[in-house]
Structure 1
């Protein structure tokens, strides 16, 4: 009778849409979170870090310290300007260090001649320091040939 009353009143009951149970959605979300967390934990704890692999592959280098140098910079009618520079040479092995030792006078001379020709403006910014580093490396490699220096390391640069 109730169904008849709805029909008689002109109201037709629409069929209800099937909804996914909230519990099923929660379970799927939980599985996704657990799988993501498990994968993250696996990569974090069981895979070897890339840094450790690269560190093991790096060859050991040696540092050869040069004496501190103080030079006059080339000025253009200005007051005198000085540069104080402490440099270390990075070499591949101890044999290269032993080859450099008797040629230290040549290395210091090459540095002094080059540094005295610089102006303060030549040393401004990171590009100026990079050019200085590369030029010093080139000059020391010429002075100690056939031995080679891997890189120049600045310990102190002071321009007044």
Structure 2
């Protein structure tokens, strides 16, 4: 058998007009197109991620973000202390006063007082602290649990006769002022104002 005839016998039979190789070419084209599409999707996603998360922001955007953070911080502080007389239950009310002072009205304080005869007697106090600035009001709000504890401990030891007359009210204000200033040191509260004092 000649070499040419041997090659023809080994070679696979081609269909009419060479159909077998044509079937292989479309499969290769589909794979190439799918690969290019996958690269385009991955490249587009990577570019999108870069522009959204990694690209440096212009200077103006940093200033806006700082303002937004400051605003969020103030709103969170508003959860602790209400302003302009609109108070949530148990939250202090902060109002601006004359000459830059700030009035910080505490939630009502109710304590059971000691009496000589053992009769149940309650003291209800509504106090306002006069503060030198709003920054102190912002620092004072997180201290509310400590202040409440101080008021409860101190006022429970008082007797109704300790509060009688203007001298009793004056001494009460001075003692509360001294104790609050110890709590907020090195800052200083200007004055304690008694808005309401009831003994039941």
- TM, length-normalised to structure 2: 0.50
Q: Root-mean-square deviation (CA), in Å?
A: 1.2
**Superposition deviation, residue 77 in structure 1:** 2.2
Tell me which of 98, 106, 109 is aligned to 2:149: 109
- Which residue of the other structure, out of 116, 120, 134, is the alignment partner of 1:76? 116
Q: In the TM superposition, what whole-angstrom CA distance separates every residue of 1:35-78 from its partner, at most 9, and x where no partner exists? A: xxxxxxxxxxxxxxxxxxxxxxx732101111101111111124
1:124 maps onto 2:160 in alignment: no
For normalisation by structure 1, the TM-score amounts to 0.62
| Structure 1: runs of 5 or more not aligned | 1-57
Q: Work out which structure has the larger RCO, using CA pairs closer than 8 Å and 6 or more positions apart in sequence.
A: 1
Contact 1:99 1:147 in 2 (8 A): no
Q: Which runs of 4+ in 1 moved over 2 A?
A: none
Aligned match of 1:150 in 190, 195, 200? Answer: 190
Deviation, structure 1 residue 147: 1.5
Tell me if the contact between 1:110 and 1:143 (Cα under 8 Å) persists in the aligned partners.
Answer: no
Q: Distance in 1 between matches of 2:192 and 2:177?
A: 6
- How many residues are treated as equivalent by the alignment? 103
Select the structure that is richer in helix: 2
Counterpart Cα distance in 2 of 1:146 and 1:107: 16
Aligned partners of 1:120 and 1:159 also within 8 Å: yes
Partner SS, residue 155 of structure 1: strand
Query: Within 2, Cα distance between the matches of 1:104 and 1:112?
Result: 12
